[in-house]
Amino acid sequence: MMTRPQTDFTAAEAAMTDTAEPILDLRTLSKTFGEVKALNGVDLKVQPGEFVTVVGPSGCGKSTLFNIVSGLEEPDSGSVLRFEGRSVMARDLLGKVSFMPQRDLLLAWRNVIDNAILPLEIEGANRAEARREAERMLPEFGLAGFAKQYPHELSGGMRQRVALMRTFMFKRDLMLLDEPFGALDALTRAMMQRWLLDVWSEHRRTVLFITHDVDEAIFLGDRVLVMTARPGAIKLERKVDLPRPRGADLVTSPEFIALKRDLLDAIEEESMKTFGPNAH
Amino acid sequence: MTAVPAPAGSFPAARRFGAVLPLLRGVLALAAVLAAVELIVIALGIRPYVLPRPSAVFEAILRTPAAYRDAIIRTGLETLYGFAAGALFGIGIGIAFSRLRFLRETVFPIFIVSQTIPVIAFGALVVMWFGNTILAKSVIVFYLTFFPVTVNTLLGMRAVDQKQVQLLKSFGASEGEILRKLRFPTALPHIFVALRISSALGLAGAVVGEWFGDTTGLGVLLLQGMYAENMVAIWASVFCSALLGVALFSAIGFAERRIVFWGGSDA
């Protein structure tokens, strides 16, 4: 099981992909902004409950990909976007996918609880009920006792946890996390990664996670996708057959390092296209 | 907001004292300046018709307190009515401009032109229309108030972080919800900046408005002092106007600290 190459299509896997309809299915997804082609034929399937991480050189269109899947941007015509087994327009996904952008984007005039329940409020949920539910979730997000604090009174790591809590409270099967830990220091980041895995195994959502950190991508993901330099496409896809729950010592295991080397090689190759002599 | 001893806990008491402290400091500074002026006037033998002693000015106020009190109330009401109307109108139309491009492109230029007319030219007309009423002065105050508020509301509504708009959209928020939950709170600090500017402008408008004809008010007292060449009366009116101005400004500052508590603009 551990050594099975990705291309080896076993019967078991075939059965799995047939029975379990992918929650998200992108085919030849492209996006052009004026003259610039940001995405060029992205093919991507995400199974329910899966944790998929996406790495790639900067400017490879990762964020564009997320903007499309969260419904903020329409892809070029000819792109196929399927969600929960149905072909949809990107804008149909507004309110269907829980999206966490890079910055926490907390509202300064709302305290921790009221920031967390923002998506529920927009859904039209009962505010008092939503507050009670958020209150119950605080300890799990390491925010016990901070219900009434305002964003300017919180540290960067705590603000990020509030933003994550807001994302989790917006109960959608698919979660998009766009470099949520990018702005944190290394120690806080490592703690947040382990914590995110705990929370994820509790709630069992499907996660699509963007990062530029290969370690993070392997540590968190069931599957790692490497994107090409712009125009972005999926260059490489590797299954991460490392046991869960994953501990901090995992990153020094031979399997982890071998996988990391492969992925780094692929990213390096793509980065050279952007920065190398033949870059256009 | 007087320095009442706090009933419970030391923390609220400290916070209340913290709020009173700047006021106390201001009063002390003002007293020091007045005392210095008093000493300089006496030491240099400055004639009362050039600069009267502050104590003489206070005496004059205390001799006929009712006249000054009524004047402050009258001018204060004129300012308050006009200011409240101007602020509400400015905020409302500013929001409308931010949503409706057509309205912004047709009506906003008219607003700008309206502000090029000096209020003095306009004042005579308003008094002709509305007579010697509070309403007439309030209209002048309104005219001076609404424009800065409109401009800053529009500015504030557009100062919103596009990423936050996108986030709310991804939650499925409608334009109306984005306006209420995001754009308007973002605009509040900008609106308060305009309110502070407008309060000073509005008070000036009320005082000048009274010059076109009225029987009570700080502007009337100023005019009477001038006709009588009574320096003490003029200074007494100036002092009362300053008092009113500071009170308005402080009230807005207090509301701002309460409403924009997250510190959108610090001042």
Angle between helices B231-259 and B54-63 (to 10 degrees): 90
The last residue of one of the domains, among A149, A170, A191, is: A170
- Partner residue opposite A122 with nearest CB, options B168, B260, B262: B168
Lowest mean pLDDT among A125-129, B15-19, B137-141, B210-214: B15-19
For residue B253, the domain's CATH number is: 1.10.3720.10
Positive/negative CA dihedral, A63, A67, A73, A77: positive
pLDDT at B2 exceeding the cut of 50: no
Give chain A positions within 8 Å (CB) of B260: 109
Identify the residue among A83, A94, A107, A115 best suited for mutation to test binding to B, counting B beta carbons within 10 A and taking the highest.
A107
Residues A140 and A202 in one domain: no
Give chain B positions within 8 Å (CB) of A107: 164, 181-182, 185
* Identity of residue A232: G
pLDDT at B9 exceeding the cut of 60: no
A2 within some domain: no
Residues A254 and A164 in one domain: no
Q: How close is the nearest chain A Cα to the Cα of B43, in Å?
A: 53
* pLDDT tens profile B49-106: 888 999 999 999 999 999 999 999 999 999 999 999 999 999 999 999 999 989 999 9
A27 within some domain: yes
- Partner residue opposite A105 with nearest CB, options B163, B173, B264: B163
More confident residue, B254 or B215: B254
Q: Does B181 touch chain A (CB under 8 A)?
A: yes
**Structural domain of B145:** 76-259
- Partner residue opposite A108 with nearest CB, options B163, B170, B262: B262
**Structural domain of A142:** 105-170
- Partner residue opposite A119 with nearest CB, options B161, B164, B171: B171
Q: Does B16 touch chain A (CB under 8 A)?
A: no
Q: Does A121 touch chain B (CB under 8 A)?
A: yes
Three-state SS string over B210-223 comes to HHCCCCCCHHHHHH
A12 within some domain: no
B9 within some domain: no
Q: Does B170 touch chain A (CB under 8 A)?
A: yes
Residues A51 and A85 in one domain: yes
Residues A165 and A176 in one domain: no
Which of A125, A127, A185, A195 has the alpha carbon at shortest distance from A165? A195
- Quote the pLDDT of residue A25: 93
User: Least CA distance to B261: which residue of chain A?
Assistant: A109
- Quote the pLDDT of residue A5: 44
- Quote the pLDDT of residue B14: 57
B107 within some domain: yes
Q: How close is the nearest chain A Cα to the Cα of B97, in Å?
A: 24
- Quote the pLDDT of residue A181: 86
A1 within some domain: no
Residues A122 and A224 in one domain: no
B121 within some domain: yes
Q: Which residues contact A51 (CB under 8 A, 6 or more apart)?
A: A200, A206, A207, A209, A220, A221, A222, A223
Q: What is d(CA A263, CA A226) in angstroms, rounded to the nearest whole number?
A: 7
Q: What is d(CA B33, CA B26) in angstroms, rounded to the nearest whole number?
A: 11
A203 within some domain: yes
Residue labelled with tokens 């959209």: B169
B114 within some domain: yes
- Note whether B167 contacts A108, CB cutoff 8 Å: no
- Quote the pLDDT of residue A8: 43
Q: Does A152 touch chain B (CB under 8 A)?
A: yes
Q: Which residues pair with B233 in a beta bridge?
A: none
Low-confidence ranges of chain A (pLDDT < 70): 1-19, 276-280
Residues A43 and A147 in one domain: no
- Quote the pLDDT of residue B239: 92
- The DSSP 8-state label assigned to residue A248 in this structure reads G
B46 within some domain: no
Residues A266 and A183 in one domain: yes
Q: What is d(CA A166, CA A115) in angstroms, rounded to the nearest whole number?
A: 7
Give chain A positions within 8 Å (CB) of B170: 70-72, 94-95, 97-99
For residue A62, the domain's CATH number is: 3.40.50.300
- Partner residue opposite A99 with nearest CB, options B170, B185, B262: B170
Residues A109 and A176 in one domain: no
- Quote the pLDDT of residue B16: 62
B36 within some domain: no
The last residue of one of the domains, among A137, A170, A203, is: A170
Cβ-based burial of A222 (10 A; exposed 0-12, middle 13-18, buried ≥19):
middle
The share of chain B scoring above pLDDT 90, in percent, equals 67
Total domain count for chain B? 1
Which of B131, B265, B144 has the alpha carbon at shortest distance from B206? B144
pLDDT at B132 exceeding the cut of 90: no
B38 within some domain: no
Residues A43 and A112 in one domain: no
User: Least CA distance to A105: which residue of chain B?
Assistant: B164
Total domain count for chain A? 2
The last residue of one of the domains, among A170, A190, A225, is: A170
How many residue pairs bridge chain A and chain B with CB atoms within 8 Å of each other? Answer: 58
Identify the residue among A109, A175, A208 best suited for mutation to test binding to B, counting B beta carbons within 10 A and taking the highest.
A109
Give chain A positions within 8 Å (CB) of B178: none
Residues A85 and A109 in one domain: no
Name the helix (H) or strand (E) containing A223: strand A223-227
Residues A82 and A27 in one domain: yes
* pLDDT tens profile B170-228: 999 999 999 999 999 999 999 999 999 999 999 999 999 888 878 889 999 999 999 99
Confidence bin at B259 (pLDDT 50/70/90): very high
Residues A158 and A194 in one domain: no
Q: Which residues contact A157 (CB under 8 A, 6 or more apart)?
A: A184, A188, A192
B51 within some domain: no
A220 within some domain: yes
- Partner residue opposite A70 with nearest CB, options B170, B182, B185: B170
Query: What average pLDDT does this structure show over B35-56?
Result: 90
Mean pLDDT of chain A: 86
